[in-house]
Amino acid sequence: MYRRYTLDEVRRKIIDVLQSYSTGLSGIELADKTGMNRMTITKYLDILYTMGLVKKKKVGSVNIWFLETGVADIEFPVNYLQIQQKLVSAVLSGEEDQARRIVISAINSTDFPVRVLTDVIMPAVNTIAQLYARGKLDKTERIFLLNIISEIIDLVKFNVRPKEVKAGAHLVSVAGSEDMVHIAKSAAVAFQMLGWNSAYIGNVEDHIDPFFDIDFQRFIAKLWGDKRGLMVICIFSSGEGSLQFLSSTAKAIKPRLKGELVLVAHATPEVQAVTEEIQPDFLAKDLQSLIDRIEQFYSKKTEQ
């Protein structure tokens, strides 16, 4: 009887072996060096090829397998700072394919894929913002680079599935200013990966009008369904007006609920006074602190 392997086990075995063979190996050679059945190796090589972790070259009738560029440089245990630097370098060079390979390699090389968002992608966003503020990037290049980052966040979203689904855990993430789009989107993806029923609305700054509060509340009600359990509304904004409007709109939903609504705000230091004025349940300073606080809150509620 053949042993059953998990994708993670096979991936690590294949990457470990191929790192030592820059000239590549055939499927038979990989089976021999990993101690796995040839049919098993063939099956998982096709999966890793689809994931962008390995590449192949036809030599006669035999496929020779190699690691994709960037994969061999990922250390075990994962060095997130190293991956962050490689991602920033690839993004700033406009090397989109390389950037995607780096992120795919990272999320398939760690047991904590959320850290790819918190420790790799968000620092890359911050680096782009700093370079733009210092005049090292013009507007067009900044837009181009941030669009690459946005696509990479989507890449994470569609390549990681939660290990469990948290009952009664709902989260909505909304941006109230353009500079907060990527952290708001990353927050929604992070909680989806953690098993929450999570949704990212987008940047609503240009859509706020006298009737938007009703529209926003209806959408939240539609997402929440039976309105039981926990709903977390995360507002990310550097604009005073959108921060105040979205916060007051979210709070107005509370009296009509069977479940519990929690308001979380993330804002820049420039609007700190407004942030304190709206009195959110949680005030997040970064993505990691937001994740930690909400996960802890959910755990306490489920224990009660």
What's the pLDDT tens digit per position in 137-146?
A: 999 999 999 9
Residue 102 has pLDDT above 90, yes or no: no
Domain count, the chain: 3
Last residue of a domain, which of 67, 94, 116?
A: 67
Write the pLDDT tens digit of every residue in 253-302. 887 777 899 999 999 888 878 888 889 999 999 999 999 999 999 998 88
Q: What is the pTM of this model?
A: 0.81
> How many Å is the Cα radius of gyration of the chain?
22
Structural domain range at position 99:
80-159
Q: Do 114 and 198 reside in the same domain of the chain? A: no
Q: Do 180 and 282 reside in the same domain of the chain? A: yes
The residue type found at 89 is S
Cα 27 from Cα 11, distance rounded (Å): 14
pLDDT, mean of residues 165-185: 96
Does 286 reside within a domain? yes
What average pLDDT does the structure give for the chain? 89
Cα 92 from Cα 100, distance rounded (Å): 13
Q: Do 290 and 246 reside in the same domain of the chain? A: yes
Contact 89, 98 (CB under 8 A): no
Q: Do 284 and 192 reside in the same domain of the chain? A: yes
CATH number of the structural domain spanning residue 229: 3.40.50.280
Residue 149 has pLDDT above 60, yes or no: yes
CATH number of the structural domain spanning residue 125: 1.10.1240.10
Does 291 reside within a domain? yes
The β-bridge partners of 264 are: 234, 282
Q: Do 188 and 298 reside in the same domain of the chain? A: yes
Residue 72 has pLDDT above 80, yes or no: no
Q: Do 61 and 93 reside in the same domain of the chain? A: no
Q: Do 117 and 201 reside in the same domain of the chain? A: no
Here the tokens at position 13 are 């075995």
For tokens 């090292």, the residue is 136
Does 1 reside within a domain? no
Q: First vs last Cα of the chain: how many Å apart?
A: 46
CA-to-CA separations, 254 to 14, 107, 229, 266, in angstroms, rounded: 52, 37, 13, 20
Cα torsion for 283, 289, 295, 297, to the nearest 10°?
Answer: -40
